[in-house]
Amino acid sequence: MIRRSSLIARIALSAALVYVLSWGTSYLPNVNLVFFIVFSAGFLWGAGPGASVGAIGMGLWTLFNPFGPAAAPIMVAQVVGAALSALVGALFRSMLGAHAPSARLTVGLVLSAALCTVLFYLPVNFVDALVFQPFWPRFIGGLIWAAISLAANMVIFPLLFPATRYLYDRGWALQ
């Protein structure tokens, strides 16, 4: 069982990882590890702590990134969208666990990657199109960029999940 102080430190470390890795991938358009880190936090510690990782990490990134801060409504959509990946991770753990058969695990991870991507980009693109207008061209243009992220996440999740399973097996998970 993880102590409260240990969990707080892990949330802070993971949120910092979201921020730092967002910097590291900032020149790869819509390819980043945020979704996977928040998904893993939700998988390991539950929806609440995982959502904290996503909200804090994405909040830092939207305020302090090399391209300037996001507009306030878009920032809120980004923070909420990133936090929702933790819910997907928590649901994944309750439905499949860390040691599902290989084929089921891979399919589950690809579907989880798709769901995390949709839960982030749908509200972000909607708010962006609503704020900056014209709505439909802006929204459809955002979906094209979201497709890049979708493809990347469908590779990243199955590729990096063994690291999450390693942490799970070493007792990093809340029971």
Residues 6+ apart with CB under 8 A from 138: 125, 128, 129, 132
Query: Which pLDDT value is given to residue 98?
Result: 83
For residue 148, give the amino acid letter. Answer: I
Query: Which pLDDT value is given to residue 73?
Result: 97
Contact 83, 57 (CB under 8 A): no
Query: Which pLDDT value is given to residue 97?
Result: 86
Q: How far apart are CA 136 and CA 141, in angstroms?
A: 8
Q: Quick one: tokens of 86? A: 């933790």
Query: Which pLDDT value is given to residue 1?
Result: 57
Q: How far apart are CA 110 and CA 107, in angstroms?
A: 5
Q: What predicted TM-score, i.e. pTM, was given to this entire model?
A: 0.94
Query: Which pLDDT value is given to residue 83?
Result: 98
Task: Determine how many CB atoms are found less than 10 A away from the CB of residue 164.
Answer: 24
Give me the tens of pLDDT residue by residue for the chain, a chain 175 residues long. 568 888 999 999 999 999 999 998 888 888 999 999 999 999 999 999 999 999 999 999 999 988 899 999 999 999 999 999 999 999 999 999 888 899 999 999 999 999 999 999 999 999 999 999 999 999 999 999 999 999 999 999 999 999 999 999 998 888 6
